Structure 1
Amino acid sequence: MKALFVEDAYLSTAEARVTTVREDGGIMLDQTCFYATSGGQPGDTGFLERTNGEKIIIAGTVTGESKSEIIHIPAPGQPVPEAGEGAVMHIDWERRYNLMRMHTACHLLSVVCPYPITGAAVSETDSRIDFDMSETIDKAEVTAKLMELVNANHPIFTQWISEDDLAANPDLVKSKNVRPPRGQDRIRLVCIGEGSAIDSQPCGGTHVSETAEVGEIHIGKIEKKGRENRRFRIRFGPAPD
């Protein structure tokens, strides 16, 4: 299965062919623009348009036994396609774009707060990152630094390195508990700034192409989760007065 979103996060519709309909109803295609739940980012929703015009509503997208196996989960009561038939994929673009903006905001926060990451979760309106840190930090100061990066409109792009390159540069991995998957011969980096001047880290998620697309964001709350763990809540819009 070809994961089209890996190279083009802005691809919201594309043609595909059904390869398998699983016993649990999950649909597998020869290629997909639907992102599957991974790395704290939820899987895409949307629909498949059959050649007869019927729609199969997709309520979620997950991975199977490996990251390369992407399963489209139909909502209850949907038509069941047959293996071999063609379909046009349509992701819920508004939802996906908000997740792209928010996931990018999480990367920016990891630049402003350069501490090991112990957990993260991305949603459409409110996301969190947990850092291994004991320092006290002002949320207004963090918000101001985030908006500096957003307003500078740094380019965002991906590049590939080998597993050996990653092993030689372990500081690229910011997560304390999760390591990029091995055995695929190459690692995808998400880079921010000309020549990766702002940031570069392994990530398989979807992101916007310029930091200005993130829009206005703020730190809504910083929670203490243990002696050396702080949870930062990122929210869209201006900080409340």
Structure 2
Amino acid sequence: MQECFYLDPYQTRLETSVVRHREGGVVLSDTICYPQGGGQPGDTGTLTLPDGTTLSIENTRRDPESGDIVHFLPDNAQYPRSGTPVVVQIDWARRHRHMRMHTCLHLLSEVLKYEVTSGNLTAESARLDFNLPEGEELDKQDIETRLNCMIDADHAVIMKMIPSAELITQPDLIASMALPPPLDKPEVHLVEIQSVSLEPCGGTHVRHTAEIGRVAVKKIENKGKRNKRVIIAFAEE
């Protein structure tokens, strides 16, 4: 399967075919739908059959055993047969917000140079949890100002691939990850925000930071003695 969302995260339509169906959904020969993972939701959209029938893609996930990307359809859907040509269309407005928010979280982790313990995002908001020295506090307005300054600088964002064996020789890259890297795969995806950061990440991102738009720090929450949760949202919300 060709995972086209890595080749071009801006591709919104794809002609492909059904390989097989399994409980809950179908596996396609190629896909533009990003599977849920790394804190980023799976894509939604539509699957159009040759007769014009349109089925809703309600979620996209990767099967942990087979590695297949499964496109989940409504419970009452009549699944297309293997070999059926289909057209996939993603919910681009939703995906683009995920791309903007995901890229912004990378900037947030550079504004706050602390260990990231977890993160999550939606089309409306996102958050990162940071492990701070006990008693240290965060300034909400300062974070927002610095974050928007990095966005406005319009840094280029570039996706790269390196062999997993090469990643092992670069402990600084591994240390930047909240979760262990997938070293069982031959290659690992990297995201570089030029002049800002380089780290492993398998999500989708915008091409330039200015595309993110203005953001606001909505809340800073205590999650234990050392953990602080920083919640951000688009400023237009």
TM-score, normalised with respect to structure 1: 0.93
Distance in 2 between residues matched to 1:87 and 1:9, nearest whole Å: 20
Distance in 2 between residues matched to 1:147 and 1:76, nearest whole Å: 43
Aligned residues: 234
C-alpha deviation, 1:111, in angstroms: 0.8
In structure 2, the partner of 1:94 is 93
Distance in 2 between residues matched to 1:67 and 1:59, nearest whole Å: 20
C-alpha deviation, 1:75, in angstroms: 1.9
**In terms of mean alpha carbon deviation, does 27-36 or 125-134 score higher?**
125-134
In structure 1, the partner of 2:204 is 206
C-alpha deviation, 1:226, in angstroms: 0.9
Extract structure 1 runs of 4+ deviating beyond 4 A: none
What is the root-mean-square deviation in Å for CA atoms of aligned residues?
A: 1.4
Amino acid at match of 1:137: L
Identity of paired residues, percent? 36
Contact 2:44 2:57 in 1 (8 A): yes
Distance in 1 between residues matched to 2:191 and 2:177, nearest whole Å: 14
**In terms of mean alpha carbon deviation, does 204-213 or 67-76 score higher?**
67-76
C-alpha deviation, 1:66, in angstroms: 4.6
After superposition, where does 1:1-20 map in structure 2 within 5 Å?
A: 1-20=1-20
Could you give the per-residue CA deviations for residues 75-98 of structure 1, whole angstroms, max 9, x where no partner exists?
232232010010000000000000
Amino acid at match of 1:37: Q
Could you give the per-residue CA deviations for residues 159-183 of structure 1, whole angstroms, max 9, x where no partner exists?
112223222222223234x112112
Residue 165 (structure 2) pairs with residue 164 (structure 1): yes
In structure 2, the partner of 1:222 is 220
Contact 2:215 2:233 in 1 (8 A): yes
Contact 2:177 2:199 in 1 (8 A): no
Distance in 2 between residues matched to 1:40 and 1:65, nearest whole Å: 16
Distance in 1 between residues matched to 2:159 and 2:65, nearest whole Å: 22
In structure 1, the partner of 2:82 is 83
Aligned partner of residue 105 in structure 2, secondary structure: helix
Contact 2:151 2:209 in 1 (8 A): yes
Contact 1:118 1:175 in 2 (8 A): no
Contact 1:35 1:43 in 2 (8 A): yes
Name structure 2 gaps, 5 residues minimum.
none
Q: CA, structure 1 residues 238+59, in 2 after alignment: closer, same or farther (shift >3 Å)?
A: closer
Aligned partner of residue 96 in structure 2, secondary structure: helix
Contact 1:2 1:31 in 2 (8 A): yes
Contact 1:119 1:175 in 2 (8 A): no
C-alpha deviation, 1:228, in angstroms: 1.2
TM-score, normalised with respect to structure 2: 0.95
Name structure 1 gaps, 5 residues minimum.
none
